[in-house]
Chain A
Amino acid sequence: MSFRRVLAVFAAVLPASLIAVRLFLAVYSWPAVRFNGLGFITSTSWNLGNTYGSPIVRNGVQVLPGAHYGILFLIAGTLLSTLIALVIAVPIGVGAAIFLAEAVPARFRMWLSFFVELLAAVPSVVFGLWGYAVLVPLLGHYVFPVMGRVLGFVPFLGGSTGSGSGLLTAGIVLSLMIVPLIAATLRDAILAEPMVVRESAAALGVTRFEAVWKVVLPGVRKILIGVTILATGRALGETMAVLMVSGNALNYLPPNIYSPISTMAAFIVSQLDSALQDPTGLAVRSLAEVALVLSVISLGVNTLARLVLYRAGLKAARV
């Protein structure tokens, strides 16, 4: 066999494992997909049924009496926490990127950028630890009660402020985890914009900030959009940090921004033990269906992000 053939066989492991992951999840969760139907994503009720009852057969699948699986509350928790994370992270990321690329002298730029990139290397469970031990008590005791009183008239910001573990806390921790990605990618893009663009703007008499804001930044718009979508995918699938600060709500939609929630990724971890109590195995297969739904969503988001970034000419996005 030629070198190229041998190499291709080894290289094929990567695509093959991706396909295997999706295929196995789909096959394994198929009974759950058949039993749960469309109600899986439109109803809010994760109920294993009577674990002492004898299994009955419904839709050709063995189930416990009273079993019902609906994960609308997980989808809501995942999307809302990601939305909050983006609302916080995008402005901070853009600001930090402009600051690093345009305001810092080149001598310090490398070290400050390095500092930002280190934040991206901190493992998610350490973010979770910080959120759990520092942020949750701080927000729950001091910040949220004040917010609830001052901003209580705004829908979704009033009502019981809870213990500090919840939607907003999860959003804040998630935003910290995706800001470095946005800031570093955008900084590189801004630095790569030709100097002549800034000089032409300056020749027209604009201030330096106007040149950056109205000329350079629109030039990297596509990269900003692409990396924001990429960060969305990251936030959707984040597990440990969310698990530790979200309050792990079960079976209700968040009435306000302080309310405990759970996300699809965190739910898969927190529910395995209880799902194993189901002798028919349907609960474990339904968890696989959660993983399937999550991976389909993140596949869509990531494909979109890559298409935007490829078209923006960014061949190798930061991984």
Chain B
Amino acid sequence: MSGVMASGGMGAGEPAREAARLLRMRRRRTWSVAGWGLCAIGFGLLGIAMGWILLMVLLRGFSALTPTVFLEVTQGTGGGLLNAIEGTLVIGVGSMILAVPFGVAAGLYAAQFSHTLFARAIRFMADVLVGVPSIVLGYFGYVTMVEGLGWKFSLAAACITIAILCLPYICRTTELALSQVPAAMQEAAFALGAGEGLVAWRIALPVAMPGVVTGILLAFAISVGETAPLIYTAGWSSYMWNGQLVGSPVGYLTYAIWAFINEPFASANALAYAAAFLVTFIVLLISVTARLVLLRRQGGR
């Protein structure tokens, strides 16, 4: 470009214009370099914050991990976290048992009959439900089940509340996975005389299975990391789960983080960090696994 400019006519005032052009060029270059710099700083800040949070949880949490944490139940502000570990897993599995059939069904409907009004309604409602603050769902669980049905703080109330929370995630990831199943594959099955049900069960779902499983895994991670709705529905218990669905509270790890960091005792704070380590470890492990499953399927990007 500059070659074209230079070979142009050299009339009067040309050097001055050339100097102005160079100045403008330099200013633009400087601005561009500064722009890249600012973008790098933005990413850097994000990276530093991420590293800081993870490092704090891993270092402080790891040093607080003792065999007692895994072997004993909480006693006052000390002891272990066995009750909370069990509670977190029971709540997670229980809410998945409730959420998966309905969430997958909603996703299946939205994908297979995607042009119907009901499918569009499901998609929109799922997106709106994602936006409902989790504490609002918790309060709903409290009003209807803990108080209204007289279940008290209980496993059932916790699982149903968390299941509602997870429904839209499962629905949307299922739909996304199904929408990537080649239409020709399903049309071939229809041409052979298969019905809608057969095509969905034997063609679409098996092909989309990795995506569906990913969604369920991510929903499980959410149930492990949730706190606010559980405070209102599961309560807290220092004992192991007694097998009751209603009537007795359940302990869980995220409560231990929130409640024990405020205690003035070192033993309680250590339990909070240990719980934070376990929660973060489980959630990140699931997220990484889920992403790797997806990435392998998509062949990376």
A residues with CB within 8 A of B: 2-4, 7-8, 10-11, 13-15, 17-18, 20-21, 24-25, 28, 91-96, 98-100, 102-103, 110, 112, 114-119, 121-130, 132-134, 176, 179-180, 183, 205, 207-210, 213, 230, 233-234, 236-240, 243-244, 265, 268-269, 272, 287-288, 291, 294-295, 298-299, 301-303, 305-306, 316-317, 319
Q: How far is the CA of A210 from the CA of B200 in the complex (A)?
A: 48
| A7 near B128: Cβ-Cβ < 8 Å | no
Distance in angstroms from A288 CB to nearest chain B CB is 6
| B279 near A239: Cβ-Cβ < 8 Å | no
A7: contacting residue among B109, B173, B280, CB under 8 A: B109
B22 within 8 A of A: no
Q: How far is the CA of A11 from the CA of B105 in the complex (A)?
A: 5
B52: contacting residue among A28, A125, A134, A268, CB under 8 A: A134
| B53 near A95: Cβ-Cβ < 8 Å | no
Point out the residues of chain B lying under 8 angstroms from A134, CB to CB.
52, 56
A209: contacting residue among B35, B128, B280, CB under 8 A: B35
| A269 near B254: Cβ-Cβ < 8 Å | no
A11: contacting residue among B29, B122, B137, B143, CB under 8 A: B122
Point out the residues of chain A lying under 8 angstroms from B60, CB to CB.
133
Given known pairs A3-B196, A103-B36, the reply for A115 and B50 (CB within 8 Å) is yes
Q: How far is the CA of A134 from the CA of B53 in the complex (A)?
A: 9
Distance in angstroms from A210 CB to nearest chain B CB is 6
B239 within 8 A of A: no
Point out the residues of chain B lying under 8 angstroms from A114, CB to CB.
291
Point out the residues of chain A lying under 8 angstroms from B36, CB to CB.
99, 103, 209
B residues with CB within 8 A of A: 1, 28-29, 31-33, 35-36, 38-43, 45-47, 49-50, 52-54, 56-57, 60, 101-103, 105-106, 108-110, 112-113, 118, 121-122, 124-140, 142-144, 164, 167-169, 171-173, 175-176, 195-197, 200, 221, 224-228, 231-232, 254, 257-258, 261, 272-273, 276, 279-280, 283-284, 287-288, 291, 295, 300-301
- Most chain A CB within 10 A, of B103, B227, B287, is at B227
Distance in angstroms from B102 CB to nearest chain A CB is 4
Q: How far is the CA of A31 from the CA of B7 in the complex (A)?
A: 84
Q: Can you list the 6 inter-chain pairs with the closest CB atoms, starting with the nearest?
A: A95-B42, A237-B133, A123-B225, A3-B197, A302-B131, A10-B105
B133: contacting residue among A123, A180, A239, CB under 8 A: A239
| B129 near A14: Cβ-Cβ < 8 Å | yes
| A125 near B257: Cβ-Cβ < 8 Å | yes
Q: How far is the CA of A102 from the CA of B172 in the complex (A)?
A: 29
| A130 near B135: Cβ-Cβ < 8 Å | no
Question: Binding site of A, secondary structure by majority: helix, strand, loop or mixed?
Answer: helix
| B136 near A10: Cβ-Cβ < 8 Å | no
A24: contacting residue among B38, B49, B143, CB under 8 A: B143
Point out the residues of chain A lying under 8 angstroms from B39, CB to CB.
95-96, 98-99, 102-103
Distance in angstroms from A239 CB to nearest chain B CB is 4
Given known pairs A96-B43, A123-B227, A123-B283, the reply for A237 and B28 (CB within 8 Å) is no
Distance in angstroms from B36 CB to nearest chain A CB is 6
